[in-house]
Chains A and B, each alone.
Chain A
Amino acid sequence: MERFDEAGRFLSEYAALLLRSGATCARVEKNVGRMAAGWGLSSTITILPRHVTVSVIAPDKETKNFLTDTGQTSISFDKITKLSRLSWEVADRGLRIEDARRSFLQIALASPANAVWVLFAVSCANGAFCRLFSGDAVASLVVFLATMCGYYLKQVMLAHKIDVRLVFMICAFVSSVLACGDSLFSLGTTPEIAIGTSVLYLVPGIPFLNSFSDMLDKHYICFFCRLTDTVVLTCCLSAGLCAGMWVMRVGMF
């Protein structure tokens, strides 16, 4: 009985960490089911916007439910990869619950990516994005700088636990105001592309793609939840962009 409870609690926490790291519902179901089968149990999962419930069923049909809060999403494909590998370790090598929990804690407590590297990479990416949209070299450089300032601000504000919606508005405002410099000082020939691209690093692409993945897998509640989150954040960044352009007296067309 104790091991049954231990397995249920572990699977519930495992499912919550997978969801928090940005896994699709299909992957959560597959991994949890695989681990439960590895320990001679079966499982079903109910995924809600802020909680996940894992129902664990013993061979004698005794069933128990384990509820865990999923918490604030912090996308990490590294964690998803390691958690998926862990599920195969349980399924193929019969890893015991206590060993699985030890590995799980190591994965959960892993340090996030280097903030300076992420800042530089995102700025380069947005600059490259500007080039893909036919922006000139000056526009690309302006976007690089605007992104660097905006993303740095995002990192600082999120570290201070400021509401993510407010963060999106402020970052979009700052990046768009800086990108307006291209038009204000007549630096390049494609200032409108610089302004339009300057806030694209804020578009919540991964949650958006996850939501459609959930839809294709018929997880409609999760689809609507993730889509709603994405729409709210997109509205916040649009409001920040509009405010920036209004302050700088730059027209959209």
Chain B
Amino acid sequence: MIEKFLYDAFFAAIAAIGFSAISNPPKTAYIYCALIAAAGHSARFLLMTPEVGALNIIPATAVASLIVGCLAVILSPVAKIPAETFLFPSLLPMIPGIYAYKTFGGLAMCLFHDSETDFLHYFYLFSNNGFVCLSIIIGMVVGGTLPVFLLKRIAYRATR
């Protein structure tokens, strides 16, 4: 269990560092991105583990994103870097890529199958994965950005 937890945190940290590199952050931001992403992703892992939180992926992502958002806002004055610099790359490892892939796959397969049974099967895959994907994204975005708006005085004064 601890091994899986650390494994999850480690790979989330690498993903956050790599994806933050695309958005050209200040050099000191990398370590914060790694720490916040590791904390957020491993928190989601714990929340979804049957022995701990046993939560569904949608509420677990929303709660984990809230943790990521709060950490980003709290740490931004320490680093003197805007909260979004940490927040957005740290949320990226939680983007439901495989659900999105299956959603699009389901849609594509719908278009190439005429028989009712096959069409309904692929339409089910499309809608099921699509709803889960959309719900995760909404939970993630709202959970992650809410602290920036609730703690405006901290978030927008970080670079002072």
Contact = CB atoms under 8 A, between A and B. Distances in A.
A205 B159 contact: no
Contacts, number: 157
A84 interface: yes
Q: Which interface residue of A133, A242, A252 has the most chain B CB atoms within 10 A?
A: A252
Contact of B149 (A30, A81, A217, A242): A217
B interface: dominant SS: helix
A42 interface: no
A30 B159 CA distance: 12
B145 A77 contact: no
A78 interface: yes
B11 A117 contact: no
B159 A81 contact: yes
A252 B108 contact: yes
B35 to A, nearest CB: 15
A128 B7 CA distance: 10
A81 B15 contact: no
A206 interface: yes
Interface of A: 22-24, 26-27, 30, 75-81, 84-85, 87-88, 92, 112-113, 117-118, 121-129, 131-133, 193, 196-197, 200-201, 203, 205-206, 208-210, 212-213, 216-217, 234, 238, 241-242, 252-253
30 contacts: A23-B84, A24-B84, A27-B84, A77-B82, A78-B24, A81-B29, A81-B82, A112-B24, A121-B17, A122-B22, A125-B21, A129-B15, A131-B7, A132-B11, A132-B93, A197-B98, A200-B95, A200-B97, A203-B95, A203-B100, A205-B91, A205-B92, A206-B22, A206-B89, A208-B141, A209-B145, A213-B145, A213-B148, A238-B104, A252-B108
